[in-house]
Amino acid sequence: MKYLYVGSMGDVDREAAAAIGERLEREFGAPVRGMELPDAEFAYNAARKQCGSIPVLELLIRSCPEDALKLIALTERDLFIPVLTFVYGHAQLGGRSAVVSLARLRQEFYGLPPNQEVFLHRAVKEALHETGHTFGLVHCPTTACAMSLATNIRQIDSKQTAFCAACEAHWRRRSRE
């Protein structure tokens, strides 16, 4: 039996972790388990005031349990890779580990009143997106597909919390290999 681990890097929004676990279990058909992980602050870069997603991903690869189909970790920290201002998440393409940052998914980040429903939808979409990468999916040209590239919050909001038919067929094929 392989499990889909939803990891919490330090304290993360419990509702988001639960919503993501539920959606991933339904999509990928593997039972979900929670997992406590170190806070991503070990990867903090003082000059950028963000955490590096590459060292975080390296930690996840080392921490990935033997019986994990995937390990999808959540962090409240803002993540970056050196060539980009920020990333919403980072995945090992075709591997088992990925991280999703919740930092930029709340309305408050953009100076707007809180909306937990909007936040949860965004979190689920980004978790589907990064998990899709671990199944070898690349960015999809269909803007409504969870695998389409989002570089701003509007692009996340225009996605659905689902893969398009082509992306879904692709991960199903990959999971049988």
* CA dist., res. 68 & res. 50, Å (int): 28
Residue 87 sits in the site that holds Zn ion (CB under 5 A): no
Report the nearest approach of Zn ion to the CB of residue 70 (Å).
Answer: 15
* Residue selected from 147, 159, 170, 171 as contacting Zn ion according to rule CB under 5 A: 147
130: annotated active-site residue: yes
Residue 12 sits in the site that holds Zn ion (CB under 5 A): no
* Residue selected from 140, 156, 159, 170 as contacting Zn ion according to rule CB under 5 A: 140
Q: For residue 43, what are its two tokens?
A: 């990867």
Report the nearest approach of Zn ion to the CB of residue 115 (Å).
Answer: 24
Residue 57 sits in the site that holds Zn ion (CB under 5 A): no
Report the nearest approach of Zn ion to the CB of residue 135 (Å).
Answer: 12
DSSP readout, 107-172?
GGGGT----HHHHHHHHHHHHHHHHHHHTT----S-TTSTTS--SSHHHHHTS-SS--HHHHHHHH
Residue 164 sits in the site that holds Zn ion (CB under 5 A): yes
**Strand, helix or coil for residue 12:** coil
Options 22, 41, 130, 177, the catalytic residue: 130
Task: Give strand ranges (E) for 10-131.
Answer: 32-37, 44-45, 50-52, 68-75, 79-80, 89-91, 97-101
* CA dist., res. 166 & res. 86, Å (int): 28
Binding segment for Zn ion (CB under 5 A), chosen from 11-19, 30-38, 112-120, 139-147, is 139-147
Please tell me the count of residues contacting Zn ion according to CB under 5 A.
6
Active site positions, annotated: 130
Residues that bind Zn ion (CB under 5 A): 140, 142, 145, 147, 164, 167
